[in-house]
Structures are given as structure tokens and as C-alpha cells.
Structure 1
Amino acid sequence: MSEPGVPGQRPDGGRPDGATPPPGPGGPQHYQQFFQYPQWQPPVPPRRTSPAAVVLIVGSVVVVILMALAFLAWGYPGFLREQDVKGVAGARPASSSPSPSPSPTTATTSAPVSLPAGARAPMPKRSKPLADPVTCAFTPEPTSPAPKKVALPPDGPASSSGTVPVSLATSAGDIGLTLDRALAPCTVVNFVSLVKQGFYDGTSCHRLSVTAGLQMLQCGDPVGDGTGGPGYSIRDEVFPELTYGRGVLAMAKTAQPDSGGSQFFLVFGDVEISPEYTVFGSIDDAGLRVLDDVARGGIDPSRPGIGDGSGPPTVPVTFTHVTTP
């Protein structure tokens, strides 16, 4: 008889459930080696996620949520919205606009484009002339590197008198500009620096607007979608008497002050915006005729826009060569 202390065996050698053990050598002992209870093992605690993994997971979720909210707020990032007076800003979206905006009606490529009858608007003038010279300073933006490498314009004194001619040779025709130092001397220094470094050569005008209250062609982005710049920013040179009529050349920027860089806009019609965008020159008559032809071509429906009546022009405008003496 087996010892009563053997696990899994009754004192009479039978099975724990009362059944008769199977015959064979050794009798109950043979049965015992197959029906012993498994040896007890201590419980294994569940594995815990490390703090680093938790931080990584939570961070990824937050990034995805922020990207989704940004997309819902701003839409396609290549353009800015007219509703926030960033219709001529063209560099980067900003959270708010410091002034009320025009509410132009949405234009389509099938609608006729209404242009002024060739009348040139008077150029704005400062009621109080600037000191001569003025001191210029340009701010690098390490987080916004230039797609085309350029050197910063020189800081320091700049004349606030005289003009500088610039010729824009484009795929749509030649456009002549006259830069006016009396209006914006540091902006003129910046533009001339970019021209002489060949920054604008090969770039295209990415945005045309023919809507009432915002009739202009926006250019100067090396990326070609409204998001590019030279890798630095320049100060605004604005004054209350600024207006933006036919023939005016002005700098683009975001809704934030002092955020201009390389993008500019050429006004061929009516532009009703607050005086927040630096005017630094004028467009010649031949250039206005070129702009009129581009405007009559309308917006290219096959390329993405932002639904505000502006977008890439149907008639491409690419700068083949930009020069200045």
C-alpha cells in the first residue's frame, strides 16, 4: 500500500475519482507517476509599460491631434486666406489678423474679369519724409531655412532718397519696376540684394486674385506655393497714408508685423486692405499690360486653390531673369 501522504493517490491505491487504476507493472505506483499534481509555481506579475514608452505614446497622440486641428483651422498650407487680410500675405498662416478684411466675391474662371480702364493710381507719399540715411537690420530665421541659399542684406545705413530700376523678364512678358527709397529704403536694399544674388531667377508667381477688392499677382516664393522665403525677415516700413491702387508694388507678409522676406505683390486693379503692407515701388505701363493679360486668363482650375477666388494663374508667370543696374 502506498503511503497516505503521496499527492494524487488514495490510501487504497485507487484513483482520486474512485476509478480502478489501470493494470500494469507496479500497479498503483505506475499510476502515481502519471497523475501527480503539478509542482506549485509562484505567480508571475503582469509586465508594466515603461515610463518612456508611455511618454512616447502620449506624445504621438498629442502630435496627431494638433496636426488635425491645424489642418481644420487653416486648410491647405500653401496659401493664406483673404478673410483674414492674409490674402496678400503669402508666407505662412498666422493665428489672427490685426485689422478687418475685405470680403471679395468669389471669382471663377468662367466669369469675366473686370479690370480698371487703364487708369494708374497715384503713388502714396509720406507726409513726413524719413531721415537720410536710415538704419536697416535684417533678422535671420533659423527655423525657416531658405530653399535657395542667399546671404543676408547688409545691416547699417541706407539712403532714403532716389530710385532703382528693376527689370523682370518673365514667360508672360517683361515687367519694369521702379523701386522708391523714399517710401521704404530698407525694403529696397533687401529687394536689390535678392535680385543681385539671382534669388528670383526661375521662380514663378504662385497666386493670382481677380476678385473685387483684391486684384493682384503675388510672386517671389522659391517654393512656389506661398510658403517659401529667403530664410530671414525684414521690418515693415509702413505709414498711415498707404494705399494700394493700380501700378503699386508692395511686400507680402503674414498677419504678424515685420514678417516680410522675399514675396511681393503686383497690383493691377483694386486692392482694399489696411495700410500694413510695405509699398516700395511702382510698375511700368508695359508691365501693367502684361498683368492685365495674365488677369484675363483667370485662375487655373486644374491646380489647387483655397476657395477664395485666388490661385495659380492660368497664364504662367515665371521669372527667367531679374536684373538691376
Structure 2
Amino acid sequence: MASSRTRARKLAREKLDRQLARRADVTRRNRRIRAGVGAGLSVILVGLGATWLLGGFDAKPEPAAAPVQCVWQEQNTEANTDLKPVGAPATSGLAETGTAAMTLTLSTGAVQVALDQANSPCAAASIGYLAGKQFYDNTSCFELQHAKDVYSLRCGDPSASGKGGPSYTFANELTIPPADPAASPSPSASADAGTVTLKAGTVAMLPNVSGSQFIIFYKDSKVEMGKYSLVGQVSGGLDIISKIAAAGTVANASGEDTKPKSDVKIQTVAVVPGTEQPPATTPSSTPAATPSTKS
């Protein structure tokens, strides 16, 4: 009887020893795993720290945009005698940000325009260059539109024929409405497919027509998409243009009823480049009236 109890206690002790051995083995394995994980994390943390110290997490600078290169396309002055040779602006090193402040002094008052150097740097450079050459001085604003949803005054052709300008032209720039509603100017999509509404005060040029002629829209106008290259926004004196329009039109040399009834002369044009933000648009002191036709 005693020997049976002794054998049972021995078997129980051996079982307990085996359980303790297995537990010790599991504990050793877990320690090795934790040690391996800790070592791996240490390596990762050291690597991340070194990357941080070396600037690896710093924001990467945006690649610099290529500088604007304007191509001034020479025109045949013998084929078109209304073109005036005045040289050409620089092709590079032009202002590409902000706006340029243009003061258009007319015989009826002064109009201020913010030329868009960011979206139309070549157009702004051309107008500024020609202003410095007194190209616009003592020239007429020769065409007034007030039909088919278009309300505009056209200036900048010394010959007043619509064919004149400097002896160069340049490529289209902002002919598609800008996506940024804060851009200058800011046209809006029209309900009619293929057209866009240009807001009152928009200043534009006719693409590939002339390096000098510009058009001021004195009322919201619905125009063909892409017909005009946008160059700026009237920032003061829009009421001066509205009064010119209200006086009506007479026949021009070709018999078209588009010449402003009041003889509108550009006395001087001055352009000061480099304004970082466009001036706030000054509202017209009087509502723009639809001009009367020739009586």
C-alpha cells in the first residue's frame, strides 16, 4: 500500500516537472521573440531618426516653372501698310505674377485697368512696351459694339481701320475662361453651348489679330468661346466707357454703324508693372446704358 502511494507521488512529481519545463521553454521563446521585435524596432527608430535629421521628411520644393518666353511674330508691313514698325518687346525676363496698373487717359476721362501678368504675360508686356513707345498717344477708340449681346469699345489701332497695330503679333494666351473665380477677369459659363459671358469691365484682345488693339466690355456680354484673349479688368472709371456708349454711334468709313458718336481720343497710356494684387473693381457711378443707334 505504501509503495503504491510512493509511485503515485513520483508520477505526479514527474508530471509537474514536465509542465514546469514546458512553461520555462515557452517563457524563453517569448523572451527571444520580444528581444527580436525590440531589436527590429530599435533599428527602425534609428533609421527614422537619421532620415529626420537628414531632412528626409521635409516638404520637397515644387519644381520651378519654366520662365515665360514670348514669341513676337513679325508681320509684313508692305502687305499691310496700317502696321507701324516699332521694334518688339523682350522675349524673356518678363513679369509673370500679379498685375500691372494701366492708366488709360481718354479725352473724356481716365480709366484704370489691372493687366493680368500671371495669365497673360505676353499681352501685358506688349501693351506696356507700346505705351512706353507712345504708340497709343493721340489715337482714336474707333469701334463701339452694342448689338447681339456684345457691348464693347475697341481701341489701340493708330489707323482706326481695325487692321492696324505694331509690326508683330503674338500667340493666344487666356482664351479659355479661368477656373479660379478670383482671377482677373472672371467670365462665367453661358447657358448657350459654345458661348461665355464676359463680365462688365473685362479687357480683351482679338487673338492673332494685332499686338496692340484692346477691347473694353462696358456691360456683361455673351461672346463666342475662345474668340477673345483676356488681358485684364477695369479697376476704375468704367462709367467713362458707359457714357461713351450711351452717346451712340455713327457710320464709319466703311458705312458700318460702329463708330462712337463722340470722338474718343486716347491722350496717353501709362503702365506700371509689378502690382501683386489686382485693385478692387470700382463700380460705375451710373448704370451702363444701352446706346442709341444713329438718328
SS of match in other structure, 2:114:
strand
Task: Say whether the 8 Å CA contact 2:175–2:228 is kept in structure 1.
Answer: no
How far is 1:268 from its partner? 0.5
In structure 2, stretches of 5+ residues that fail to align are 1-63, 179-186, 188-197, 273-295
Q: State how far apart, in whole Å, the 2-side matches of 1:181 and 1:131 are.
A: 15
The one-letter code matched in structure 2 to 1:294 is I
How far is 1:144 from its partner? 3.2
Matching residue within 240, 248, 251 for 2:205 = 251
Distance 1:231 1:270, change over 3 A: same
The one-letter code matched in structure 1 to 2:73 is T
Higher percent of residues as helix: 2
Task: Say whether the 8 Å CA contact 1:172–1:316 is kept in structure 2.
Answer: no
More displaced stretch, 264-273 vs 237-246:
237-246
Which 4+ runs in 1 deviate beyond 6 A? Answer: none
Residue in 2 that maps onto 1:8:
none
Task: Say whether the 8 Å CA contact 1:137–1:156 is kept in structure 2.
Answer: no
Task: Say whether the 8 Å CA contact 1:144–1:231 is kept in structure 2.
Answer: no
How far is 1:233 from its partner? 0.9
Q: Output one character per residue of 1:92-135: Cα deviation in whole Å (capped at 9) or x when no partner.
A: xxxxxxxxxxxxxxxxxxxxxxxxxxxxxxxxxxxxxx946311
More displaced stretch, 169-178 vs 232-241:
232-241
Q: State how far apart, in whole Å, the 1-side matches of 2:262 and 2:66 are.
A: 41
Is residue 317 from structure 1 mapped to residue 264 from structure 2 by the alignment?
yes
Q: Give 1:233-312 correspondences, 5 Å limit.
A: 233-241=169-177, 243=187, 244-253=198-207, 258-273=208-223, 274-286=225-237, 288-301=238-251, 303-304=252-253, 307=256, 310-312=257-259
Task: Say whether the 8 Å CA contact 1:187–1:280 is kept in structure 2.
Answer: yes
Distance 1:169 1:137, change over 3 A: same
The one-letter code matched in structure 2 to 1:221 is D
How far is 1:157 from its partner? 4.1
How far is 1:240 from its partner? 2.8
Return the TM-score normalized by structure 1: 0.54
Q: Output one character per residue of 1:126-171: Cα deviation in whole Å (capped at 9) or x when no partner.
A: xxxx946311110111233565431111112433202111111111
Matching residue within 120, 123, 134 for 2:68 = 134
Q: State how far apart, in whole Å, the 1-side matches of 2:160 and 2:209 are.
A: 18
Higher percent of residues as strand: 2
In structure 1, stretches of 5+ residues that fail to align are 1-129
SS of match in other structure, 2:127:
helix
Return the TM-score normalized by structure 2: 0.59
The one-letter code matched in structure 1 to 2:80 is S
Distance 1:315 1:160, change over 3 A: same
SS of match in other structure, 2:239:
helix
Q: Give 1:1-325 correspondences, 5 Å limit.
A: 131=65, 133-142=67-76, 143-144=79-80, 147-241=83-177, 243=187, 244-253=198-207, 258-273=208-223, 274-286=225-237, 288-301=238-251, 303-304=252-253, 307=256, 310-325=257-272
Q: State how far apart, in whole Å, the 2-side matches of 1:133 and 1:237 are.
A: 15
Q: State how far apart, in whole Å, the 2-side matches of 1:171 and 1:213 are.
A: 27
Give the root-mean-square deviation of aligned CA atoms: 2.1
Q: Output one character per residue of 1:254-304: Cα deviation in whole Å (capped at 9) or x when no partner.
A: xxxx33321110010132221232111111232x10011001001125x44
Distance 1:239 1:149, change over 3 A: closer
Task: Say whether the 8 Å CA contact 1:147–1:228 is kept in structure 2.
Answer: yes
Distance 1:259 1:131, change over 3 A: farther
Q: State how far apart, in whole Å, the 1-side matches of 2:167 and 2:175 are.
A: 26
How many residues were matched structurally?
188
